[in-house]
């Protein structure tokens, strides 16, 4: 047989084998194989080249932000502004545009015409036509990433904490004692732009019974989460989260929601309940007070831990550990907290005189709380030492 004839037979055999091994699409489906995937649905047109001419405006002085964009088809375009709750607080009148570059503007006022509070807001561009709708919204696809604050340094002489952020973010700043209790939340998830920052603290704890500004063990903690790229700052830096007073026009549904709670991942929590909680620390019983307002105690002292009624449900739902300290030294904790609860403090294990009782609530989702009591211990002959215990309040 010639080489050409042999080559032809090899090719024919190969083709026959391929036909036998490759079943039709219908046969594949009958055999349980996945049908071919559909081609991704194409948007009717595109919004591109979105940018702002500034990242901060002052509505009181008449400043406004211009949001530039390009569109590749004729459409009706609307600008929407949302606050940190994903509440719609402004919607522009729709404008019909032709293909090409355009710009939308916002003057920092809500839908009722009032200047919005100093805060961070995010913009959304909606374009629609007979072909469909396209939405430019970076709120879910950018931001919400943990951010490291660089070089946090506490300067006791000036009463300033200095640190640097590489990206716009929401920050939480707490002060505490190294290897001891946390004593004060100074700012709670407020918005800050990228750059160098200074934050003032007067040194007082949350209960204003201790000034720790010059304590050698004082330590700041800065936690931060990045803001989305479609953020516009309004006004000066605020010391607390604020929301627009008007009733929202609507809300923005997040495209991606976490399947389960992630511990200490604050960006998962609604902004209005993301912060730390106030703590109420009291003594049960009729204790006298001295001329400095200190409770005069001796022996076993029942200490009641609670939170205000309007936040109790949130604290219990997210679960927490109560932790107790005497003069900044750890004394007792339990992994399951109840509210209200009573901790029996044995004052006979400390020297007579002034002491500080501090309670920390450490929420499993990162929401903390703290309070401190100043007491005066009188010696009580015959008091026996006891291990501190907790009991659910009646």
Considering the entire predicted model, what is its pTM?
A: 0.82
Over the stretch 350-369, which tens digit does the pLDDT of each residue have? Answer: 999 999 999 999 999 999 99
The pLDDT score that the predictor gives to residue 240 is 94
Over the stretch 223-243, which tens digit does the pLDDT of each residue have? Answer: 999 999 999 999 999 999 999
Q: 167 and 227 in contact (C-beta within 8 Å)?
A: yes
Structure tokens belonging to residue 287: 């204790």
Give yes or no for residue 380 having a pLDDT over 90.
Answer: no
Mean pLDDT of the 246-268 span: 73
Give yes or no for residue 29 having a pLDDT over 50.
Answer: no
Q: 41 and 80 in contact (C-beta within 8 Å)?
A: no
The pLDDT score that the predictor gives to residue 79 is 98
């Amino acid at each position: 047989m010639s080489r050409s004839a042999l080559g032809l037979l090899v090719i024919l055999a190969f083709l026959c084998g391929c036909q036998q091994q490759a079943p039709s699409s219908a046969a594949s489906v009958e055999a349980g194989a996945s049908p071919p995937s559909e081609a991704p649905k194409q948007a009717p047109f595109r919004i591109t080249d979105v940018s702002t001419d500034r990242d901060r405006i002052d509505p009181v002085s008449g400043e406004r932000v211009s949001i530039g964009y390009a569109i590749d088809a004729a459409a009706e375009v609307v600008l929407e502004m949302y606050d940190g709750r994903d509440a719609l607080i402004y919607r522009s009148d729709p404008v019909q545009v032709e293909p090409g570059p355009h710009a939308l503007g916002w003057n920092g006022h809500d839908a009722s015409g009032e200047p919005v509070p100093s805060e961070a807001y995010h913009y959304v561009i909606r374009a629609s036509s007979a072909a469909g709708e396209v939405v430019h919204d970076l709120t879910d696809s950018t931001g919400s990433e943990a951010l490291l604050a660089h070089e946090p340094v506490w300067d006791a002489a000036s009463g300033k904490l200095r640190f640097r952020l590489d990206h716009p973010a929401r920050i939480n700043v707490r002060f505490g004692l190294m290897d001891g209790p946390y004593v004060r939340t100074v700012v709670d998830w407020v918005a800050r732009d990228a750059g160098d920052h200074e934050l003032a603290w007067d040194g007082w704890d949350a209960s204003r019974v201790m000034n720790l500004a010059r304590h050698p063990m004082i330590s700041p903690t800065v936690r931060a989460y990045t803001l989305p790229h479609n953020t516009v700052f309004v006004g000066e830096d605020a010391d607390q989260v604020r929301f627009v007073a008007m009733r929202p026009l609507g809300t923005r549904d997040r495209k991606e929601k976490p399947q389960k709670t992630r511990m200490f991942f604050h960006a998962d929590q609604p902004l209005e309940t993301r912060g730390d909680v106030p703590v109420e620390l009291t003594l049960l019983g009729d204790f006298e007070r001295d001329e400095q307002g200190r409770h005069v105690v001796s022996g076993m002292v029942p200490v009641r831990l609670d939170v205000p009624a309007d936040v109790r449900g949130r604290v219990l739902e997210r679960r927490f550990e109560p932790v107790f300290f005497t003069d900044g030294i750890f004394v007792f904790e339990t992994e399951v907290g109840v509210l209200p609860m009573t901790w029996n403090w044995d004052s006979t294990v400390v020297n007579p005189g002034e002491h500080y009782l501090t309670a920390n609530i450490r929420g499993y989702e990162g929401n903390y709380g703290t309070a401190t009591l100043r007491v005066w211990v009188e010696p009580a002959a015959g008091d026996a030492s006891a291990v501190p215990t907790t009991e659910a309040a009646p």
